[in-house]
Structure 1
Amino acid sequence: MQLSIDARLRRTPACTVIIPTYNRRALLQRTLDQLARQRLPGDTFEVLVVDDGSSDGTEETVADFRDRLDVRYFWQPDEGFRAGAARNLGLARARAPVTLFLDCGVLAHSNCIRAHLASHDAAAAQGLPAAVVGYVLCFDDENQTSREIVAELRDADIDRYVEMAHGRFSRADVREHIYALCHDDLSLLDAPWVVFWTCNVSVRTRDLLDQGGFDEAFRTWGAEDVELGYRLHKAGIGLRLSRQALAVHHPHPFDADAKRAGALANYRYFARKHGISLTKALTGDMLADHYRRRQADQAKAIPKSVR
Structure 2
Amino acid sequence: MTTPPACTVIVPTYNRVGLLRHTLDSLVRQRLSAGDGFEVIVVDDGSTDTTAELAESYRDRLDLRYLYQEDQGYRVAAARNLGIADARAEVCVLVDSGVVLHSGALAAHLAAHREADGPVAVTGYVFCFNEGNEDGELITKAIDHADPDASIAEFAAQRHWLDLRETYYERYGEDLGVLTAPWLMWWTCNVSANTAQLREVGGFDEWYRAWGAEDVDLGYRLHTAGARFVLRRDAASLHVPHEKSYSGNMAAAAANYRYFAEKFDTPVAHLVPDNHFEEIEDILRSRGLAEGEVTELFGTVFRGGGAAQTEGAAR
State TM-score, norm by structure 1: 0.87
Asked if residue 287 in structure 1 is aligned to residue 282 in structure 2, the reply is yes
1:54 aligns with one of 40, 47, 50: 47
Query: What is the CA distance between 1:191 and its match in structure 2?
Result: 1.1
Letter in 1 for 2:162: A
* Equivalence for 2:312: none
Structure 2 distance, partners of 1:61, 1:12, is 25
The Cα of 1:182 is off from its aligned counterpart by 2.5
CA distance in 1 between counterparts of 2:79 and 2:52 reads: 15
- Kindly provide the CA deviation profile for residues 260-297 of structure 1, in whole angstroms up to 9, marking residues without a partner as x: 1001100110010000353246647413367899xxxx
Name the CA distance, whole Å, in 2 between partners of 1:290 and 1:143.
33
Contact 1:111–1:245 under 8 Å retained in 2: yes
8 Å contact kept, 1:144–1:253 = no
SS in 1 for 2:86: coil
SS in 2 for 1:23: coil
CA contact (8 A) 1:145 1:254 kept: no
Instruction: Select the residue among 1, 22, 30 that pairs with 2:22.
Output: 30
Q: How does 1:219-230 map to 2 (within 5 A)?
A: 219-230=209-220
Q: Which letter maps to 1:89? A: L
Q: Deviations over 1:47-104 (max 9, x none)?
A: 0000000001100000110110000000000111000000001111000000000000
State whether residues 116 and 245 of structure 1, in contact with CA within 8 Å, keep that contact through their aligned partners in structure 2. yes
Counterpart residue number, 1:302: none
1:100 corresponding residue in structure 2: 93
Is contact 1:187–1:240 with CA below 8 Å preserved after alignment? yes
Q: CA deviation at 1:144?
A: 5.5
- The answer as to whether partners of 2:22 and 2:145 remain within 8 angstroms in 1 is no
Q: Which amino acid aligns with 1:164?
A: E
Structure 2 runs not aligned, ≥5 long: 289-315
Which sits farther off after the overlay, 45-54 or 276-285? 276-285
CA distance in 2: counterparts of 1:285 and 1:139, whole angstroms: 22
Secondary structure, counterpart of 1:31 in structure 2: helix
**Quick check: 1:138–1:250 contact (8 Å CA) kept in 2?**
yes
- Per-residue deviation at 1:177? 1.3
Matched, 1:18 2:13: no
- Tell me the equivalent position of 1:243: 233
Alignment-mate amino acid for residue 148 of structure 1: L
Cα distance in 2, alignment partners of residues 95 and 144 from structure 1: 38
CA distance in 2, matches of 1:110, 1:205: 22
Query: How far apart, in 2, do the equivalents of 1:158 and 1:143 lie?
Result: 20
Q: Distance in 1 between matches of 2:57 and 2:36?
A: 18
What SS does structure 2 have at the residue aligned with 1:92? helix
For residues 222-244 of structure 1, give each alpha carbon's deviation from its aligned partner in whole angstroms, at most 9, with x where no partner exists. 00000100011011111000011
Greater Rg, structure 1 or structure 2?
1
Pick closer, same or farther for the CA change 1:169–1:154 going to 2, 3 Å.
closer
TM-score, with structure 2 as normaliser: 0.85
Alignment of 1:141-160 (within 5 A): 141=131, 143=133, 146-153=136-143, 155-160=145-150
Query: What is the aligned partner in structure 2 of residue 296 from structure 1?
Result: none
Q: Could you say which residue in structure 2 is the equivalent of 1:63?
A: 56
2:194 aligned with 1:197, yes or no? no
Give CA deviations for 1:245-269 in whole Å, capped at 9, x if unaligned.
0110000001111111001100110
Answer yes or no: is 1:87 the counterpart of 2:73.
no
**Distance in 1 between residues matched to 2:36 and 2:58, nearest whole Å:** 14
1:138 is aligned to 2:131: no
Q: Aligned letter for 1:278?
A: H
Q: CA deviation at 1:143?
A: 4.6
Show the counterpart of 2:164: 174
Regions of 4+ moved over 4 Å: 142-145, 289-293
Structure 1 residue 113 corresponds to structure 2 residue 106: yes
CA RMSD of aligned residues (A): 2.0
Deviation by residue 1:91-148 (Cα, 9 ceiling, x = unmatched): 110000000000000000000000000011111xxx2310111001111225566101
Cα distance, 1:180 vs structure 2: 1.7
